[in-house]
Amino acid sequence: MDLLKEKIKKDGTVLPGNVLKVDNFLNHQVDAKLMDQIGEEFARLFKDEKITKVVTVESSGIAPALTTAIHLGVPLIFARKHKSVTLTDDLYTAKVYSYTKKVSNNISIDKRFLNADDHILIIDDFLANGQAVQGLLEIAKLADVSVSGIGIVIEKSFQKGHAMIEKTGIRLESLARIASLKDQSVTFVE
Amino acid sequence: MDLLKEKIKKDGTVLPGNVLKVDNFLNHQVDAKLMDQIGEEFARLFKDEKITKVVTVESSGIAPALTTAIHLGVPLIFARKHKSVTLTDDLYTAKVYSYTKKVSNNISIDKRFLNADDHILIIDDFLANGQAVQGLLEIAKLADVSVSGIGIVIEKSFQKGHAMIEKTGIRLESLARIASLKDQSVTFVE
């Protein structure tokens, strides 16, 4: 998605440790128009997959997942994060480790919202090590729903998330694929 | 907003302790089409207020705030919640107590995103005791921006948030105003 790549080049900042800071248009301040176009693009890419629900994790996944759900005409579910170990029988739960924040969270979805005949599309803002996606795939397995695709706004292709998803055979579409963040500069995958 | 009130009547559940559970269409599973209509309605209500930015708090405020921002054609900012007491000079921060979760969180917005000439519209999914709105008003004051309006999806008018906002003189628009949740039943304000 050229528009997104231009925006990353223009407004993204590369910080030490392979961090790409895009909090001025993606995950703190949000360019609402761009976010709508991102949803439109995911809907176009996955329109033939008979998606019944879009699934993401709070918080920064909500914006691209919502616009995708609007353009596909299906509901959105956002998994909730929580620290507590008290789980209830009403929830599908998976453990997710965040490399950025160096903490483990449980993420969960109420059992009422996933049914065996669902075809879900997983959407997230970033793919790095793939922990959040892996957690959602675990929940999908527990709920016995099929995962028809994974849509990522910005993928850091040099980290292990991409390879992990490739191994599952699930269709992955990333709107911007970053090959390297060396020398404070963004290089996209050709 | 009649469509929303009908949805609350049909799909909402009243739990003991004046809790209205709407996690099947508002804040866990999200009715994407309804959320888009909610944003359209807020945009219609506030279209003459020269809004420059829509502001909310993660996570459940993001969906209605994003659709409002899309329909108004302005950026969205979502304040981040964090437990840490380490504050930096780069952030406007306020303390918010959650009656539901019985914990205090700091919420903050990066100083780069609020400027003295901004006219912000605060959007949130629920108004009960008004703690989140109060935190955002504190941040607006620190940033010296003017607050042109507050839009709430569901207001529990019998709790103290409504009166608190009324005292500030800021225009408040709530799409569904609940007068009572007595006897497991939803009664709207006439």
Tens digit of each residue's pLDDT (9 = 90 or more) over A48-102: 999 999 999 999 999 999 999 999 999 999 999 987 666 678 999 999 998 877 8
pLDDT in tens, A142-163: 999 999 999 999 999 999 999 9
In chain B, residues with a C-beta closer than 8 Å to the C-beta of A63 are 62, 66, 76
Q: pLDDT class for B163, splitting at 50, 70, 90?
A: very high
Work out the burial of residue A184: count CB atoms within 10 Å of its CB; fewer than 13 is exposed, 13-18 middle, 19 or more buried.
Answer: exposed
> Which residue's entry shows tokens 């306020």?
B94
Q: Do B28 and A63 touch (CB under 8 A)?
A: no
Closest CA to B138 of B168, B173, B99: B168
Beta bridge partners of A53: A120
- Sign of the CA dihedral B58, B62, B68, B73? positive
Supply the CATH number for residue A127's domain.
3.40.50.2020
Structurally, chain B folds into a number of domains equal to 1
Task: Look at A185-189, B13-17, B133-137 and tell me which has the smallest mean pLDDT.
Answer: B13-17
In chain A, residues with a C-beta closer than 8 Å to the C-beta of B24 are 112-113
Task: Give Cβ neighbours of residue B77 (< 8 Å, ≥ 6 apart).
Answer: A28, A29, A30, B53, B54, B55, B56, B109, B113, B114
Closest CA–CA distance from residue A190 to any residue of chain B (Å): 31
Q: Which domain does A92 fall in, by range?
A: 2-188
Token pair listed for A105:
């969270």
pLDDT in tens, A1-52: 999 999 999 999 999 988 999 999 999 999 999 999 999 999 999 999 999 9
